[in-house]
Amino acid sequence: SPWQCLLTTDNPNGAPFVRYPEIIALLMSKKYRDAEFATVHPDTAARVPLPAIERELDWYEIAVMTRAGQAKALGIQEIGKGHLGPGAYADVAVYPIRIDEVDPSVDHQKVIEAFGQTEYTIKRGRVVARRGECLIDGSNATFWVKPKVSEAYDMGKDPDFIEKFDRYYTVRMRNYPVQEEYLNRNRCIETEAEI
C-alpha cells in the first residue's frame, strides 16, 4: 500500500534525494527494474525477491507515496498538509510531464527526466521556484516533532548506544540536535512516546 510505504530521505546517511527520479521510475517500470537488475552480480537473483515483483505503481500511487502518505503518517493532514482540499497549505510541485501521454512502464526515461526538476514549486500558494531557479528568498515553515520520552529510554544518554553511534556513524551525535533558535517559522508537534 502506498499509504504504508513512503518515499522519504535520510540524507546524508541514506540514498540522496537527487536519485528519487530513478527510484520513482523503478517503482513504475518492471522493464526498467529488469534492465537495472541485469547490471548486478548474477548470484544476487537467488538471494532477493526483486526480480519476481511484477507490480508497477501508477501516478496516483506515486503521489500518495511521495506526498499525501507522509502527511497522514505524521498526523498533519488536518492542519493543511498532504492534500489540496479547503484549508490546505497549497504546497504543490508541478512537473513537466503529461501523465495522460506517458506510459511510465515503457517510458521510464521520461519519468526520470520529469521528476528531475519541477516546472514550478509552490509553497503556501506562492511560486517559490521555476525550472530550478529560486524566485523567493527567505525561510519557510519547519515542522518538527518533540516527543516526550522517559529518561529511562533516552538513547542520547545510553553509554552503549553512544559508543556504537560514535563507532559506526560518519556524523557525530552532537551534530544531530537542531536548536530551536534555528527554526525561524516553525510548528512543533508534541507527542508522547510509548515503549
User: What are the cell numbers at 56?
Assistant: 508497477
Residues of the chain with pLDDT below 50 are none
Amino acid at the residue 164: K
pTM across the whole model = 0.76
Domain boundaries, the chain: 17-134, 142-192
pLDDT value of residue 128: 92
**Which among 70, 91, 69 is positioned nearest to 80, based on CA atoms?**
91
pLDDT value of residue 147: 81
**Which among 24, 6, 8 is positioned nearest to 108, based on CA atoms?**
24
Per-residue CA distances from 80 to 60, 136, 174, 187 (Å):
19, 22, 33, 12
pLDDT value of residue 14: 60
Helices 30-37 and 20-28: crossing angle, nearest 10°? Answer: 110
